[in-house]
Structure 1
Amino acid sequence: MLQGFKEFIMKGNVIDLAVAVVIGTAFAAVVNSLVGDVLMPLISMLVGTPDFSNFLVFGAVKFGAFLTVVINFLLVAAAIYFVVVVPMNHMIERRNRRMGILPEDEPADPQVVLLTEIRDSLRSRQ
């Protein structure tokens, strides 16, 4: 039972989904701040107050609040990358090497490469 759970967790799709949810949540804050603190005050200056909460004058464009949210997003993204993605990639790489699976950029056995080239050459002649 625990082996099945370990296999489930080690799948790349689960980690990718978890990262996407966290990044999506952080990015939602960026978008909300852009809309609420930057765009809405600019629009309200042009059209008046179409039911804006706490309508403020020109000096109320909150670029500082937006910048804070963007920095928070970048920090969350960096934390997720260095704490989750990098260690997971190393674990997957070690597992693949243990299983004999080569990364795409590493050359395979020279005999396999030669046989693949011969096969491809024969296919192109037909």
Structure 2
Amino acid sequence: MIQEFKDFIAKGNVMDMAVGIIIGAAFTAIVTSLVSDLINPIIGVVTGGIDFSNLFVNLGEGQFDSLAAAREAGAPIFAYGAFITAVINFLIIAFVVFMLVKMVNRVKAAAERPDDVAPEVPTGPSELDVLLEIRDALKK
């Protein structure tokens, strides 16, 4: 069993997966900053300063000024604003990942395309063919 575990760990796929997870965690931090620090403020300006994350409906009794206050009080709430914010974040992150994959695929395709191979140019008859035609014409 220990040998099987060693074989599993030693496979390249496991190391690739580990590197992918580490890069993914770092990329998540970058994209989260992009969304929260750059894109959400622009969306706030476009929508007139609406902060979706603080929109909620109180399903219980009492009046709360913010979502945080309602959660702290333990009130039953319907936090649809947090859901809207999560959906917007997801769409932005999905778009960024799509653009990244598209760029990587373009670079990969360019790297796989051979640059040094000249395209075949159709040529006329060879020198030997021309000489044979001249010989045959002289014989006639």
Q: TM-score, normalised by structure 2?
A: 0.35
Which structure: greater helix fraction? 1
Q: Rg larger in 1 or in 2?
A: 2
Which is bigger in relative contact order (C-alpha 8 A, separation at least 6)?
Answer: 1
Q: TM-score, normalised by structure 1?
A: 0.38
